[in-house]
């Protein structure tokens, strides 16, 4: 009995999930293929591998001839009758051969073929067991740290790999530590095998943690409308409730924040912002920036960027560390956002008004009553105070006009915008 080979069968079957029949076929086919490719021939060799004992039997198909000229392919009638008593000249008989007679076969070639077939068998096992589990959570134990800080995780029958880019800059792992990660992909390797790729940086990892931690997300009562991450620093998500009686933000946070704290602990302290869903985009933006108050929203000249104007003291909070907060919010809402201080906004608007007030555009000297969108009563008040044309109005500051007309700054701002917008629009076109 070949105990070593039987032990290999048991190990591959138990640890790798490869069926014994597949292993045996791989060894048999590999040895036969190596024999056939041998420089000394071997096309007539067949091999049997016994799964229970591990014994390997080698047979050689030879033609019965009267005079042997090629011992590898031929056998004399007298010798052949020792194996098949009733054989005749011209018959083919199957002759047992000692394994040592395979010495001429390239052992290296056989080894390469066996490894290739076993990699293929292991790939099939991995694909069958793990392909359908993509985007789900798996847990394992750190087996070793590979080149480039790649973490090799023992998942049981297979090993998962977690490249350095797939875990946050704040995280480190030691051999023997338990790891929870997202099974992000099962991919084929160049050598014919397959590997399970794990990730803790994918936004889907946080989504799956929420599904695991929050029953309302798991059963579909709460829907995650959007989720973005800066791994290791901050996650932002928009949540919506299908049940008006269920508060989506409260359910995700949990009593005394217990649910979100569990997720933050798993993410090694990463901050999480849970934002309630609002159908109106502008209101959604306001909810996302709460408690910061948006003073103005402006579109850029190319209509591709939204400019948010906030009070000067709210500017650092709005943009966040290294611009991370506003960058994440832009990704969450799928728009490009820029933040501007109110003081800078006022200065730029003053420069714009001064430039237009001194330009030679004929519309600047038309009666203010020709400007659409301004109520007649307001126009009458403006004219009575000497602001009969757009030029005359723009020569004054909004604060001065508000004081003279006893109006709020917000109303005066809208009047100025109503005067400026047609001119801006024409200049953009």
Q: What percentage of the chain's residues is helix, strand, coil (to nearest 5)?
A: 45, 25, 30
The percentage of the chain sitting over the pLDDT mark of 70, rounded to a whole number, equals: 82
Note the pTM of the prediction, 2 decimals: 0.68
CATH class of 3-115: alpha beta
**More confident of the two residues 2 and 372:** 372
Q: What is the mean pLDDT of the chain?
A: 82
Highest mean pLDDT among 48-57, 89-98, 163-172: 163-172
> pLDDT confidence of 108, banded at 50, 70, 90?
low
What residue ranges do the domains of the chain occupy?
Answer: 3-115, 134-199, 203-272, 281-343, 360-428
Q: What is the pLDDT of residue 101?
A: 46
* pLDDT range class, residue 44, cuts 50, 70, 90: confident
Q: Which of 51-55, 326-330, 396-400 has the lowest mean pLDDT?
A: 51-55
pLDDT score at 105: 46
- Please compute the mean of the pLDDT values over residues 331-352 and round it to a whole number: 88
When mean pLDDT is compared across 41-55, 241-255, 287-301, the lowest value belongs to 41-55
| 270 CB-contact burial (10 Å; exposed 0-12 / middle 13-18 / buried 19+) | buried
360-428 has CATH 1.10.287 classification: no
Q: Which of the following CATH numbers is that of domain 203-272: 3.30.300.20, 2.30.30.110, 3.30.1490.100, 3.40.50.300? A: 3.30.300.20
Copy the structure tokens of residue 20: 């014994």
pLDDT in tens, 130-143: 788 889 999 999 99
Q: Which CATH superfamily is domain 134-199 in?
A: Nucleic acid-binding proteins (2.40.50.140)
Confidence band, pLDDT 50/70/90 cuts, at residue 40: low
Paired residues of 178 in beta bridges = 141
* Confidence at residue 394, expressed as pLDDT on a 0 to 100 scale: 80
CB 349 within 8 A of CB 307: no
Q: Which CATH architecture has domain 281-343?
A: 2-Layer Sandwich (3.30)
User: Is the model's pLDDT at 192 over the cut of 80?
Assistant: no
CB atoms within 10 A of CB 282: 11
| Contact (CB, 8 A) for 274 and 239 | yes
Q: Does residue 397 register a pLDDT over 60?
A: yes
What would the mean pLDDT of 258-280 be, rounded to a whole number? Answer: 93
| 15 pLDDT higher than 70 | no
Q: What is the mean pLDDT of residues 43-54?
A: 72
Cα–Cα distances in angstroms (integers) from residue 126 to residues 86, 186, 304, 407, in the given order: 51, 8, 45, 72
pLDDT at 193: 66
Structure-block tokens of residue 86: 């009733």
Strand partners, 195: 187
Residue 311: Cβ within 10 Å count = 14
Q: Which of 163-167, 376-380, 396-400 has the highest mean pLDDT?
A: 163-167
Place of tokens 């608007």: 349
Provide φ and ψ at 196, rounded to 5°: -95, 120
pLDDT at 78: 82
Cα 30 from Cα 35, distance rounded (Å):
8
Interatomic CA distance for residues 171 and 23, integer angstroms: 40
Task: Give the DSSP per-residue string, 218-243.
Answer: HTTSEEEEEEEEETTTEEEEEEEESS
Instruction: Average the pLDDT over each of 77-86, 225-234, 303-312, 367-376 and give the range with the smallest value.
Output: 367-376
List, in order, residues 6 or more apart from 309 with CB less than 8 Å away: 294, 295, 296, 297, 298, 339, 340, 341, 342, 345
The whole-angstrom separation of Cα 58 and Cα 62 is 13
Give Cα 423 to chain centroid, integer Å: 46
Query: In the prediction, which pLDDT does 67 show?
Result: 85
Residue 416 has pLDDT above 70, yes or no: yes
**Res 39: pLDDT:** 43
Give CA–CA dist 352/346, Å, rounded: 10
Condensed to tens digits (0 to 9), the pLDDT of residues 206-251 reads: 999 999 999 999 999 999 999 999 999 999 999 999 999 999 999 9
Predicted local confidence at residue 197, as pLDDT: 93
Diameter of the chain measured on Cα atoms? 133
Q: Of the given ranges (79-93, 110-124, 332-346), which has the lowest mean pLDDT?
A: 110-124
- Indicate whether 305 pLDDT > 60: yes
- Rounded distance between C-alpha atoms, residue 270 and residue 228, angstroms: 13
**Residues 35 and 45 sit within 8 Å (Cβ to Cβ):** yes
pLDDT at residue 157 tops 50? yes
């Amino acid at each position: 009995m070949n105990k070593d080979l039987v032990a290999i069968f048991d190990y591959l079957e138990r640890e790798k999930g490869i069926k014994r029949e597949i292993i045996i076929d791989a060894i048999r086919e590999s040895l036969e293929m190596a024999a056939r490719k041998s420089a000394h021939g071997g096309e007539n060799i067949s091999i049997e591998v016994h799964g229970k004992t591990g014994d390997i039997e080698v047979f050689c198909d030879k033609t019965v001839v009267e005079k042997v000229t090629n011992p590898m392919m031929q056998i004399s009638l007298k010798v052949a009758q020792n194996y098949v008593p009733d054989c005749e000249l011209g018959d083919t008989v199957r002759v047992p051969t000692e394994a040592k007679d395979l010495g001429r076969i390239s052992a290296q070639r056989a080894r390469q073929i066996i490894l290739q077939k076993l990699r293929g068998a292991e790939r099939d096992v991995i694909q069958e067991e793990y392909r359908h589990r993509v985007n789900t959570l798996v847990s394992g134990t750190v087996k070793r740290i590979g080149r480039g800080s790649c973490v090799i995780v023992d998942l049981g029958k297979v090993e998962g790999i977690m490249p350095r880019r797939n875990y946050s800059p704040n995280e480190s792992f030691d051999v023997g530590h338990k790891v929870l990660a997202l099974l992000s992909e099962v991919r084929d390797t160049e050598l014919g095998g397959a590997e399970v790729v794990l990730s803790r940086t994918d936004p889907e990892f946080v989504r799956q943690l929420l599904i695991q931690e929050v029953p309302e997300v798991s059963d579909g009562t709460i829907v995650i409308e959007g989720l973005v991450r800066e791994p290791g620093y901050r996650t932002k998500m928009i949540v919506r409730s299908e049940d008006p009686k269920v508060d989506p933000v409260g359910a995700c946070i949990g009593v005394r924040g217990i649910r979100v704290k569990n997720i933050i602990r798993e993410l090694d302290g990463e901050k999480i912002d849970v934002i309630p869903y609002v159908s109106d985009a502008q209101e959604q933006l306001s909810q996302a920036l709460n408690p910061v108050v948006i003073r103005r929203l402006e579109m850029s000249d190319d209509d591709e960027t939204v400019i948010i104007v906030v009070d000067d003291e709210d500017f650092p909070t709005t943009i966040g560390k290294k611009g991370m907060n506003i960058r994440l919010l832009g990704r969450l809402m799928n728009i490009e956002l820029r933040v501007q201080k109110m003081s800078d906004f006022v200065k730029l608007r003053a420069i714009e008004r001064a430039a237009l007030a001194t330009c030679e555009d004929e519309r600047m000297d038309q009666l203010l009553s020709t400007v659409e969108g301004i109520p007649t009563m307001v126009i009458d008040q403006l004219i009575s105070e000497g602001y009969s044309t757009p030029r005359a109005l723009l020569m004054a500051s909004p604060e001065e006009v508000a004081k003279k007309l006893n109006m709020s700054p917000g109303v005066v701002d809208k009047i100025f915008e109503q005067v400026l917008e047609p001119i801006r629009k024409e200049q953009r076109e």
